[in-house]
Structure 1
């Protein structure tokens, strides 16, 4: 009995302090995450000049645009056509990966290009608020605008949340059955008891969602947990132009049965393959979303090297991609996104109400 009481007391302290320390970060991650669920739709709404260009009879070859960007933007590790146009009015969105020279400096750079004349419509770093709010918000959510140190902090925050879940289960272990069987009743005695009731109820019911979202975020960033591995591998060479024609590569990729091209990554370093990313029709319910599958092409000859279906990749790679899809809600359409918004509001309430309950606490433990 005494050992159980000591464990409960320790769990209460852990639950309280990690919750308090994590409150601000939880609010940042959840609010930014809710907005990013609709990033594509909101970006089109608030930046019509980027998504409603005047169509012409012919488009500029993608190969030419790639080569122009590689020449005008030096010091890259790779360049990607991040999203192909959704319709004839949409523009190309390129993502340029800059070589990192400082662990806290942003390396993601976007460029919007008019497909019909090749002119740059807008460009800037992801971390530049004035260049693009939604890409700035992505960097805030992903790395707190601090790149590797920021990603490390997000990992710590995810660990804190998982500790909150475990300690919460220990504290409320006797009430969990009552909660999920709808036998728990609210005590209207005062604000404290009402908040305590909803903190307990919402906390129990949200365990699966919160555990999946925060564990997946931790897993996707797990390589940043060891600061001693934050090495800066900076090439000493200038951008390298691939010999293969990008339009020809895309034509070959599009001819593969059941494959839908979404993006293409072109290296600017010798020895790397061109990677066409997308999805196959037979990839399955969870894995068949976004660009989990990829096709390798030789950067010199443009010949097909390998087809990598996401559901046939090694378990570790498929598992990581499945966690990415679960984390971002890129499955199930608008209903899933609405459920994710509700799910994101709950941790905010739990954090704020937890601080309130701690401030009003009595020494039960």
Structure 2
């Protein structure tokens, strides 16, 4: 269970909530069978009134002590979906104790292994089939526990997601318990949260690749955002995540570019590899309750365009593979 200090996280996000644009479209719960969902995660979806052919899909898992409806109200993604013509999936955690996501069990950390991650992937596949979506343009973004799940999904399901964007999260596998507790759902790792779990880049990369043994295809692009004063998930996790994903993507740990004061004053953007395959933002003085930069996320995903000109995934441009 999360420390009490994180209870403020959801409230902080809601204080700055943006009401989605007035529309007949609304947040809808899908109650029918949508595929394997071993932990019974809730499935909520926002579908704009007008969709282009082959719409993209964005998954937005919520934070601890949050909910699908809180994520819907607490960001601009529904508004932007109506503007640009993509679908948003808002999964709802089945873990009532703290409403966090399972990012620790062997099941959720394994491709088709079960856990919350498999349920979310089933939501994606149902949506693609129902709305004839573009399977090469499926994206995921979240904050805190949602950021952890973002890294789980792009790590365990690189064949499903084209890119991810994680705000105040931890590396894939960081919360995994040692010993005989690998099947534990919702395990809270104090060591990881406090920045005590450290590996070499190669070791981190091996952890991700073990999630899908034998996979040699496309690896998703990734954005990382983290505040230097994060009091819940130590800033050390930012550096560990950079090591992990540069290894997975086969990139140098030396940034290609460094840009100060972007997207806001005091934040520094680092890019790694060709075409900014990994973007990492260090937010000076910012605590765990980091402000989501939706437009920066959409630009990275190329979702701020209404056409499918930008092609991703298995049908897209040549990118890192492993």
Bin the TM-score by the shorter chain: under 0.3
Greater share of residues in helix: 1
Indicate the structure whose relative CO is greater, using CA pairs within 8 Å and at least 6 residues apart. Answer: 1
TM-score (normalizing by structure 1): 0.23
Q: Which has the larger radius of gyration?
A: 1
TM-score (normalizing by structure 2): 0.25
